[in-house]
Structure formats: structure tokens, C-alpha cells
Amino acid sequence: MTLTETEWNGASPETGYAHWQTGSLKVLGAISFSHFLNDTIQSLIFAIYPLLKNNFALTFVQVGTISLVYQITASLLQPMVGFYTDRHPRPYSLAFGMGCTLCGLLVLAMAWNYDALLIAAAMVGMGSSVFHPESSRVARMASGGKYGFAQSIFQVGGNAGTAMGPLMAAWIIIPCGQHSILWFSFLAMLAIVVLINVGHWYGRRRTYKGGGSKGHQDAKSAFSRRTVTISLLILLALIFSKYFYLASITNYFTFYLMHRFHLPMQQAQYYLFTFLFAVATGTLIGGPIGDRIGRKKVIWLSILGAAPFTLALPYANLTWTGILAFAGGFTLASAFSAILVFAQELIPGKVGTISGLFFGLAFGMAGIGAAVLGKLADMYDIEFVYHICSYLPLLGVLAVFLPDIRLKKGIDD
């Protein structure tokens, strides 16, 4: 699957690119498939909220707290995992993280009270905290210099998995009950097998490249510290905008549709799937376009461009609600790959740390958003939540202040 060190160092650019197209592209496919399995499992938590709310007589605040525990567990640990693995790469940590997710899934299936639900959410969050920064590093290693494309392929696997959650809930869990979640443990086991093989490739690749990443840690940014700091703050604000809005859809869209349009639970799940499918599709497009026209333009157009759709959604009928949710999800989703690669290029040599920070912040914002929006839904109503959140994409105007980063082509560093 990989070249020896001598073959790699002596290869021409054409040979190196051909190598990427064969062996490394397979690894990119494997890590994207693992992301699909991982996020399919994780999205089940959100997709079965109506079932859990009925089974355990939960309030919206309690529903939001489940998300908060999951997201905060993931967000707090991810930067630390990324920081550590920048210095001490652990090729098989991916399989370990998936093992944590498997344990959380088993607890969720057998949960007997609200506290058990929180434990399950924390275990799944722990698995996510290990999986995302290291798998993002593998995607960059297997990119062949096409960093935006590689991150999009990696991300689309996760978003496609997230989109599958509502369908799996509608087809299997809601009709068969909470214990049917046990069937999805086989997905986690399959992912562990795939990730062990990815770990083999990761370990061999480190050996061929000299066994470490110290040279990359010493890399310097092309921008001043002030520019880097301001740019990171802008990117973090955009992450807040994107993931607070996504939290309103992922956690409460089914409740919104059931409340406003009196849809049955299963039909509401199909609308949620439509939105999440749009997110997956938009993610696939954002990275390659960023490679071609520049990531700043993609970030700006993606987040600010979603505003017309989000602003109109609270006033739409059922048909237009579905259309606007699809359009808004598609537009908004194309930003994350561009944001992540933009940040990695701002601070070169810190792939794990940057990936952990941005994935962690994304999870953290989603968790805080779920809890805050749940409180607002209890205090007022679920429609009020969508009126407030509709303004969040307007923060996309901040992207105009980001510096221009010229893409440097080449085989993976």
C-alpha cells in the first residue's frame, strides 16, 4: 500500500502522485468510511431524542443536557489529544477511540435511567475526542497535497453517517424500541477492524518518513502573530455561528416539525435526514472548491450565503421548510473543511492541535447550543428558538477580514 522510504524520496512528482492515487487514496477512503460508521453511531443519540423523551419523561433541558455532556466531553478532550499526538503519534489510538464509542453504545441500549443516558453520552464523546483529531491527521497524510479535497472526503463520511442516524431511528429503533440499539454495535466492531488496518498504514508511513514530526513542529507561519491571532478568533466566531445553528436543527428539528406542522415522529425524522443529507453533500463540495478558488472565499460565501435560507425558514410552510432546510444545510456545510485547512495553514506543523481545537470547539458549541436552546424552548416555545437562530449566519461577514492564503501544491508533507 505504501512506498519504501528510498522509493518515496527518489520518486518524481508524477510517481508520487500516482502513488497517492493508489495506496493513500485507499487509506483516505478507509478513514472516510470509518468516519461514516462513527458518526452513524453517534447520530443515533440525537435521532432517538423523541423516543428517550417519552421513555424517561424528559424535559427539553434534560434533552439538551444529554447533548451537552456528549459534546463537552468530546470538545474538552480533543485539543489535548491533538496536542499530545503532535508530539507522540499513536497509530492505533483510532481503534481505541472506536472501542470507547462501542462501550457507550452498549450502555445507551441498556440504559435504565437518566443518569445512565448521561454516562453513555460521555463515553461516546470520549471516543469522538480520540477519533477526530487523529483521523483528520491521517486524512492530511493521505491527501497528496490536495488538503481541502482530503478533508472534504473525510468530513463527508461523517456527515453522511450523521444523516443516516434519523433513517436508522425511523426504520429500526423507534419501531423496535431502545434495546434495538444493540444491533448497531456491529458497526462499531467493523469500524475497529478498519481502523486497525489504518493504524498499520499510519505506523509504516511514520517509519518511512523518519519516525516523527519534529520538523513539522518547527515550521513557521507566513503571517505575524497578531494576524494569526485575529484570524483564529474570526474562525472561532464562524465555528460558533455554524454549529449553534446546526445544533438547533440536529437536536430540535423533529420537535419543531411535530409542534408546528403536527407531523408524526417518523415523518419528522425523514425531514431531518433531508437536512443532514444536504450537509453531507455541501461538505463534499467545499474542500475541492477551496483548493481551486481559495478557502477564504468558500468560508465567506458558505456561512453568509446561508443567511437568506435560515432567515426565511421560520415563516415557511411545510414544503418550503423542507426546501429551505436543505438549501441552508447545503450552503452552510461547505465551510468546515475550508476553515480547518485554513487554520492548519495559518499554523503549520500543528495538525493534531489545530484539528483537536476546531473539532473540539465545534462539538462544544453544538453541546452548549443544545442546552441553551433547550432552555429557551422550555421557557418560550420551539418556534422561538428558530426565530433567534435564523440570524446566526450573518456572522459570516467576518470572513472578509481573513488574510489571503495562497495554496502551495505538492505531495503530502
> DSSP string of 253-301?
HHHHHHHHS---HHHHHHHHHHHHHHHHHHHHHHHHHHHHH-HHHHHHH
Torsion sign over Cα 356, 357, 358, 361: positive
Q: What is the dihedral of CA 83, 84, 88, 90, to 10 degrees?
A: -100
Show the cell assigned to 292.
481551486
CATH 3.10.290.10 fits 14-401, yes or no: no
Mean pLDDT, each 10-residue run in order, the chain (413 residues): 38 46 75 88 79 84 83 76 75 86 89 90 86 81 78 80 79 82 88 89 67 48 81 88 84 88 85 85 77 82 91 94 93 81 81 75 72 84 89 90 64 38
* Identity of the residue numbered 184: F
Show the cell assigned to 149.
479535497
Q: What's the confidence (pLDDT) of residue 406?
A: 58
* SS3 label, residue 409: coil
- Map out the domains of the chain as residue ranges: 14-401
From CA 409, how far away is CA 413, in angstroms rounded?
10
Residue 135 burial (CB < 10 Å; 0-12/13-18/19+)?
buried
Contact 382, 249 (CB under 8 A): no
First to last CA, the chain: 18
Show the cell assigned to 293.
478558488
Show the cell assigned to 3.
512506498
Q: Which residue, among 53, 55, 54, 184, has the nearest Cα to 109 in the 3D structure?
A: 184
- Using CA atoms, how far residue 70 sits from 31, 100, 351, in Å, is 22, 13, 24
Q: What's the confidence (pLDDT) of residue 323?
A: 95
Residue 329, number of CB atoms within 10 A of its CB: 27
Q: What crossing angle do the helices spanning 335-346 and 318-333 adopt, rounded to 10°?
A: 20
Show the cell assigned to 68.
451537552
From CA 325, how far away is CA 306, in angstroms rounded?
10
Contact 281, 330 (CB under 8 A): yes
From CA 404, how far away is CA 413, in angstroms rounded?
21
Q: What's the confidence (pLDDT) of residue 206?
A: 63
Q: What's the confidence (pLDDT) of residue 223?
A: 77
pTM of structure:
0.65
From CA 162, how far away is CA 329, in angstroms rounded?
13
- Using CA atoms, how far residue 238 sits from 76, 296, 308, 336, in Å, is 19, 12, 17, 9
Q: What's the confidence (pLDDT) of residue 207?
A: 58
Question: What phi-psi label fits residue 9: left (phi over 0), alpha (psi between -120 and 50 degrees) or beta?
Answer: alpha
From CA 35, how far away is CA 131, in angstroms rounded?
8
From CA 358, how far away is CA 354, in angstroms rounded?
6
Q: What's the confidence (pLDDT) of residue 209?
A: 54
